[in-house]
């Protein structure tokens, strides 16, 4: 299917440059990943963000096996307020593309040469 053939949802409201600059996107490396027993959807990722480790809860279990993510570099929104999912605190959000027409989800991986902790702009 050609990209222009996909039904697209409308854009969200316009933001200012200052709004965008509030987002802190960083290259993080997955150091551990496991299925969440209390959920059919969540994976619990432990990532190195360049300053330490943090937990990221993500509903990508149907699309990725934990072993497929360990060692990979991903893009994470690190300054998102913590939120509890399935009894676990998530300290950020990984960036991924949801492809509803194909019932798929693709995590945005950073190039292997990108340093851990590097800001994404």
pTM of the model: 0.90
Is 121 among the domain residues? no
What residues make up the domain containing 65? Answer: 17-115
Q: Per the domain annotation, does 90 fall within a domain?
A: yes
Tens of pLDDT, residue by residue over 60-71, are: 999 999 999 999
Residue 34 belongs to some domain of the structure: yes
Are 70 and 20 in contact by the 8 Å Cβ rule? The answer is no
Residue 5 lies in a domain: no
Span 36-63, pLDDT tens digits: 998 999 999 999 999 999 999 999 999 9
8 found inside a domain: no
**CATH number for position 70:** 2.40.50.140
In a domain, 66, yes or no: yes
Question: Domain count of the chain?
Answer: 1
Q: Are 77 and 24 contacting, i.e. CB atoms less than 8 angstroms apart?
A: yes
């Amino acid at each position: 299917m050609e990209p222009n053939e996909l039904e697209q949802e409308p854009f969200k409201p316009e933001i200012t440059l200052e709004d965008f600059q509030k987002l802190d996107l960083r290259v993080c490396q997955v150091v551990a990943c496991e299925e969440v027993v209390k959920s059919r959807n969540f994976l619990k990722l432990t990532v190195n963000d360049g300053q330490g480790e943090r937990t990221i809860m993500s509903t990508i279990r149907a699309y990725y096996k934990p072993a497929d993510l360990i060692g990979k570099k991903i893009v994470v929104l690190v300054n998102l307020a913590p939120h509890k999912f399935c009894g676990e605190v998530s300290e950020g959000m990984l960036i991924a593309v949801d492809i509803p027409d194909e019932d798929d989800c693709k995590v945005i991986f950073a190039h292997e040469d990108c340093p851990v902790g590097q800001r994404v702009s």
